[in-house]
Amino acid sequence: MRFYHVLAILCILTLVSCQKKTEGLKEGKWRGTFILSDNEIPFQFEVSGTNTDSAGIFLINGEDRFPLNKISYNKDSLSIPIDLYDAELLGKLDGDVLHGNLVKHFAGKPDEKFPFFAQYGKPRFSQIKEAPSVFLNETWDIYLINANDTEKTVGTFKQKQSIITGSILTTTGDYRFLEGIVHGNKFELSAFGGSTPYLLKGELSDENRFTGEFITPKRKTKLFGSRNPEASLPDPYKGSQLKPGYSTIEFSFPNLEGKQISLSDARYSGKVVVVTILGSWCPNCLDENAFLSGWYKANKARGVEIIGLGFERKNDFESAKKSLTNLKNRLGITYEILFAGQSGTASASKALPAINGISAFPTTIFIDKKGVVRKVHTGFNGPATGKFYEEFKVEFNSLIEGLLNEK
């Protein structure tokens, strides 16, 4: 009996050793699709490296490549964490096919799940043989038709033959990098940068007008657009302002080491200070702080400082420390990031009572050498907005230059 027992163990070990090891996602580009009841939102990602222990993955939207965390495998299942947005892609792999869910985690709320399906080697949009009969280059006034009002936004697009990229600007920020195709007089653009998937599609009635829809997993909004080379939004410096009778702001919040930091600290005395109101969960904040991080390294010796006030999903220091540290490390930030409270415009407004209300993440406050608030900028036009981003950089540098030159 003992002989047969040993033989059985050897057979089991042999079978286990002969089992095929999980190969993981193939190296190269994959086409994903978020599956909605009456639509689908395509997205694209690229796997770099074939070793399942070190493979990297990037979400691709136009020129943007957003790196995700290391892929974790368990037999035919995998998990791809999206740390900044407290989300993950969970799925099962079957050769060249992956299916699963985008899972969003929320503090004190049930997880949200959005199903997706992905195939290896497919383009974001199917290549349609019909050549474009319209060109969407330049800027557009785009009006989103909501239940109770109509929201004015601005669209900016670049089209090269049938390929189109661009973004939509709102008064609180932009929808980052959209990418898609034009066929005949119709167009479709989509984006997924780790947070919310978007789909913009429309049809032109003539070369200067279109109607369409803006679609997310939870919402569908009708819209119409009108070509306008001078399209613009309201002045972002006229949204949030100091309340009457105030000239300065005050705050004291812990940095990521737990030390209380305030504007009265010696480090900020006599310097121009930029205060950015942010959240690690906020895509536009990611874009603004990517810009500020590099700018600060090049200019801090001139007598300027930056402070980030982080408002996070959980009103808990240890949780906020983890998420804000991820943001800081991803962008190489060397200025102070403070934990200022829980996410939300109400929380940010309460933290800075001298301002008449914070309506957007990010919001940026410019303070002169005497500690006087000179301007407050609502929202951010990121690199996906093209000329609007370039205009912002010129304005930003001009404003800082003027403040530095003051006696």
pLDDT of residue 148: 86
- 236-405: CATH class: alpha beta
CATH ID of 138-227, from 3.30.465.10, 2.40.128.120, 3.30.360.10, 3.40.50.1980: 2.40.128.120
- pLDDT tens-digit series, residues 348-360: 999 999 999 999 9
Rounded CA separation 279/52 (Å): 32
Nearest to 134 by CA among 62, 74, 183: 183
Whether the pLDDT of residue 13 is over 80: the answer is no
Rounded CA separation 388/231 (Å): 11
pLDDT of residue 9: 42
pLDDT of residue 55: 60
Let me know if the fold of 23-120 is the same as that of 138-227: yes
- pLDDT tens-digit series, residues 305-333: 999 999 999 999 999 999 999 999 999 99
- pLDDT tens-digit series, residues 173-195: 999 999 999 999 999 999 999 99
Whether the pLDDT of residue 205 is over 50: the answer is yes
Total Cβ atoms within 10 A of residue 368: 17
Average pLDDT value for residue range 184-211: 96
Provide the percentage of residues in the chain whose pLDDT is more than 90: 84
Whether the pLDDT of residue 378 is over 80: the answer is yes
Tell me, what DSSP letter sits at residue 20? P
Residues of 228-241 as b/e, b for ≥16 C-beta within 10 angstroms?
Answer: eeebebeebbebbe
- pLDDT tens-digit series, residues 41-50: 999 999 987 5
Domain edges within the chain: 23-120, 138-227, 236-405
pLDDT of residue 407: 83
Whether the pLDDT of residue 22 is over 50: the answer is no
Protein fold of 23-120: Lipocalin (2.40.128)
Rounded CA separation 3/157 (Å): 75
